[in-house]
Structure 1
Amino acid sequence: MGERPESAAADADGPAFRTVFENRVRFAETDQQGVVFYGEYFTFQDEAVSAFLRAIDYDYDRMVENGWQIHVVNSELNYRAGAEFGDVIDNELRVAEIGTSSLAFEYRARRRADDAVLADGTVTHVAVDRETEAPTRIPDAFRQAVAAFQGSLESSE
């Protein structure tokens, strides 16, 4: 992907962001003003989470096989600049923190042409047991996969 060279090292404020999903803005994703409709960034953020999970080889299917899954409990986005039809967006993600049963991702969308940050924000999930839907501890294997992929892991356990 369009990973920037500095993304291999940790950022000053935590693990490095990694480009996990890229997309070219489709005409259908723009509004009457010709820029990406703000709600589309939530879809981009969600796609980035799915891509991150695939990149660490711990996707939703593996979670289900292991008896747990994650549910979104909060999502926030800040809009910094507008993207237009045809722009290529690098969607970056990192796990900012893993608690006992919660998982907080930080997200950033950058326009590849000029590296401008288009949007940034967070999405928090809670791990739940597949049978009971009750909060459950995030497995060590998942924690290890995240740490191996991004080089470190903030834990509030």
Structure 2
Amino acid sequence: MGSPTESAEAEFQPFFQNRVRFAETDQQGIVFYGEYFTFQDETVSQFFREIGYGYERMAADGWQTHVANTELNYRDAAEFGDVLVNELRVVEMGSASFTFEYRVKRNADGGLLADGMVTHVAVDLETEETRPVPDAFREAVAAFQGGLETDG
């Protein structure tokens, strides 16, 4: 596995907006902490679609991603009815993995609710063995986001 490439220049971009549903809250009336992982996943999926490299294209190209690590830091509470803006950016691109930095804010006041990281590993669709991140994906990320080298 090669060394990761850092991208300090890429700005966060909003990819997914959602209104907190009652079912996503706990007995305290705030968003249950586990729901943020779903929000994070929806944001990553939207990122893939935005760069023109959704799951369908991954499958057609013979690969998929597996989540290898995720972490979230909870900063403030969201409540039923709040509109959330979910943002992310790619911050590392290794030979077989890439890492997103994620954050979610309350739309009404811009307050930071949670932030963290999620790392995906490229996996061959048939063998499920780790494989290099395809150059076409690297190029799509770099073209969309900028500031990310595409050496693999």
* Residues in 1 aligned to 2:12 and 2:88: alpha-carbon distance in whole angstroms: 5
Divergent runs of 4+, >2 A: 154-157
Counting aligned pairs with the same residue, the percent is 65
Q: Contact (CA 8 Å) 1:99, 1:155: kept in 2 or not? A: no
Tell me if structure 1 keeps the 8 A contact 2:70–2:119.
yes
Change (3 A) 1:94 1:149: same
What corresponds to 1:140 in structure 2?
135
Q: Is the 8 A contact 2:135 2:150 kept in 1?
A: no
Equivalent in the alignment of 1:71: 66
**Aligned: 1:47 with 2:23:** no
What secondary structure is seen at the aligned counterpart in 1 of 2:115? strand
Structure 1 residue 13, shift from structure 2 partner: 3.8
Task: Output the amino acid matched with 1:29.
Answer: E
Shift of 1:16: 0.5
Contact 2:51–2:144 (8 Å) recurs in 1: yes
Structure 2 distance, partners of 1:35, 1:13, is 33
- What TM-score do the two structures reach when normalised by structure 1? 0.89
Equivalent residue letter for 2:43: A
Cα distance in 1 for residues equivalent to 2:109 and 2:8: 23
Question: Structure 2 CA distance, aligned partners of 1:154 and 1:15?
Answer: 11
In the comparison of the two structures, how many residue pairs are matched?
146
The answer to whether the aligner puts 1:58 opposite 2:53 as a matched pair is: yes
Report the Cα distance in structure 1 between the residues aligned to 2:14 and 2:25, rounded to whole angstroms: 22
With the length of structure 2 as denominator, give the TM-score of the two structures: 0.91
Inter-partner Cα distance in structure 1 for 2:66 and 2:54: 13
Paired amino acid for 1:38? Y
Tell me the SS of whatever aligns to 1:113. coil
Q: Tell me which of 7, 11, 14 is aligned to 1:16.
A: 11
TM-superposed CA distance for 1:154, in Å, is 5.2
The correspondence of residues 79-90 of structure 1 with structure 2, limited to 5 A, is 79-90=74-85
